[in-house]
Amino acid sequence: MKRTHIIALVFVAVLVASLTVMLGKGFSRYEDFESAYAKEGKEFTVVGVLNKEKGIDYNPTADPNKFFMYVLDSRNIEKKVIVFKAKPRDIEKSEKIVITGKMNDDVFEATDILLKCPSKYKNREQQANSGRTV
């Protein structure tokens, strides 16, 4: 093999390895609060539902980019969640909440939040299905 071919192969190998490492860091893992607590300090993505009985504590005059809520994960484990973003509109209507962050003691500190809201087409689909005859 020529020297230029060897250099090109090494360059491609280094490029592939570096892309794999960079892309691997961007993927977050879906976990529950228990496993996030066991690996405190690592970033996780938790899917859960808002505990509407405890409500949301949000004071926009004190800190508009911080609010507190209680979330139940897929195993019905409840944790207090501090979200370091502005409170999303209609969070109370959401079906599921996806939060990304880290456990700190017994509190989940979220840096990102995504709401899974009910579909506006759900009622239309149910009505259409109930009106059909088989």
CATH of the domain at 115: 2.40.50.140
Give the model's pLDDT for residue 34.
Answer: 84
Task: Please state, in angstroms and as integers, the Cα–Cα distance from residue 120 to each residue in 26, 96, 117, 132, following that order.
Answer: 31, 15, 9, 20
Does the residue 51 lie in any domain?
A: yes
Does the residue 129 lie in any domain?
A: no
Please give the residue range of the domain that contains residue 47. Answer: 26-120
pTM of the model as a whole = 0.66
- Split into its structural domains, the chain has a count of 1
Does the residue 11 lie in any domain?
A: no
Does the residue 10 lie in any domain?
A: no
The residues pairing with 78 across neighbouring beta strands, listed in sequence order, are 72
Contact 48, 70 (CB under 8 A): no
Burial of 102 (0-12, 13-18, 19+ CB in 10 A): middle
pLDDT in tens, the chain (134 residues): 788 888 888 888 888 887 777 665 555 567 888 877 777 778 889 999 999 899 899 988 888 899 999 999 989 999 999 999 988 888 888 889 999 999 888 899 999 999 987 766 666 656 666 665 54
Does the residue 16 lie in any domain?
A: no
